[in-house]
Amino acid sequence: MASTSPSQGLSEARLRVADEAPGFMPIDEARALHDAAAGYLSQPDSVGIGVEIGTYCGKSTVFLGAAAEPVGALIVTVDHHRGSEEHQPGWEYHDTALVDAHSGLLDTAARFRRTMFDAQLESTVLGLVAPSTAAARVWGREVDFVFIDGGHSMEAAQNDYDGWSRWVRPGGALLIHDVFPNPADGGRPPYEIYRQALDSGRFVEASVHGSLRVLTRVG
- Residues known to be catalytic: 152
Do residues 173 and 210 touch, judged by C-beta distance below 8 A? no
Sheet with 74-79, strands from edge to edge, namely 125-129, 74-79, 49-53, 143-148, 168-176, 212-217, 203-209
**Cα 122 to chain center, whole Å?**
16
Q: Residue 144 phi/psi, 5° resolution? A: -75, -30
Q: Where are the beta strands (DSSP E) in the chain?
A: 49-53, 74-79, 125-129, 143-148, 168-176, 203-209, 212-217
Nearest in space to 59 (alpha carbons), one of 82, 29, 86, 38: 29
Strand 143-148 and strand 212-217: pairing? unpaired
